[in-house]
A and B are shown apart, each in its own frame.
Chain A
Amino acid sequence: DTGVSQDPRHKITKRGQNVTFRCDPISEHNRLYWYRQTLGQGPEFLTYFQNEAQLEKSRLLSDRFSAERPKGSFSTLEIQRTEQGDSAMYLCASSSPESSYNEQFFGPGTRLTVL
């Protein structure tokens, strides 16, 4: 399968714990995005990378959130000191450098539940 993959698919954690999610984009896609989606809402942009450079961060991305893409391939999203309000689906998407209009392909997401 050559689509976007995310790991884990589900994560249950206790409030205050740290969690880390991984995203593997479609091969050769240099743009990688993180979104958060809560029930009944559309995905909300968190951050994006072009190659290894993090080019934009949403105001939704508090200091407890950090994302990396060290070699320009896979990316990780870490949430420190999780809160119940962090419970959501975390989606990763990637886009090809040949896409003029930023056609994005999403992975299956990681569903986070903070107890």
Chain B
Amino acid sequence: QQPVQSPQAVILREGEDAVINCSSSKALYSVHWYRQKHGEAPVFLMILLKGGEQKGHEKISASFNEKKQQSSLYLTASQLSYSGTYFCARLRGGGADGLTFGKGTHLIIQP
């Protein structure tokens, strides 16, 4: 029941673009995106809300298709600092409970 992410890994050259996809078989009311660098805690990036609302963070933006229960994270003109593992997550249920995370997408940016 965890969200499914694709691809599992991406290797880019600095300046290239990437798209990370997240889909869920359970109804999505919101999608949470986190980035985790090796040995560190996950860092909150953004929340996507139902209604197709799109929010951005630096050169990272995302979209949420409520009907398809999918979200995509767009990394434009990638920088070395974007390297890490990206996770999407959904709320386990309504209200203030925990998150169910996908398995993550490993992003490696090479100079």
- Interface residues of chain A, those whose CB is within 8 Å of chain B, are 31, 33, 35, 40-48, 50, 55-56, 58, 91, 95, 101-109
B97 touches A42 (CB 8 A): no
Task: Tell me which residues across on chain A come within 8 A of B42, comparing CB atoms.
Answer: 43, 91, 106
State which of B41, B96, B102 has its C-beta within 8 Å of the C-beta of A102.
B96
B103 touches A56 (CB 8 A): no
Which B-chain residue is minimally distant from A106 (CB atoms)? B41
Which A-chain residue is minimally distant from B98 (CB atoms)? A45
- Interface status of B30 (Cβ within 8 A of chain A): yes
Q: How far is the CA of A46 from the CA of B22 in the complex (A)?
A: 22
Q: How far is the CA of A109 from the CA of B96 in the complex (A)?
A: 21
A42 touches B41 (CB 8 A): no
Give the dominant DSSP class at A's interface: strand
Q: How far is the CB of A85 from chain B (nearest CB, A)?
A: 19
Number of interface residues of B (CB under 8 A): 25
Which A-chain residue is minimally distant from B89 (CB atoms)? A42
With A103-B47, A107-B41 already in contact, the answer to whether A48 and B103 are too (CB < 8 A) is no
Task: Tell me which residues across on chain B come within 8 A of A109, comparing CB atoms.
Answer: 41
A-B contact pairs, 25 of them (CB 8 A): A33-B98, A40-B103, A41-B104, A42-B2, A42-B87, A42-B101, A43-B42, A43-B87, A45-B92, A45-B98, A45-B100, A48-B97, A48-B98, A50-B96, A55-B96, A56-B97, A58-B98, A91-B42, A102-B32, A102-B95, A102-B97, A103-B32, A106-B41, A108-B40, A108-B41
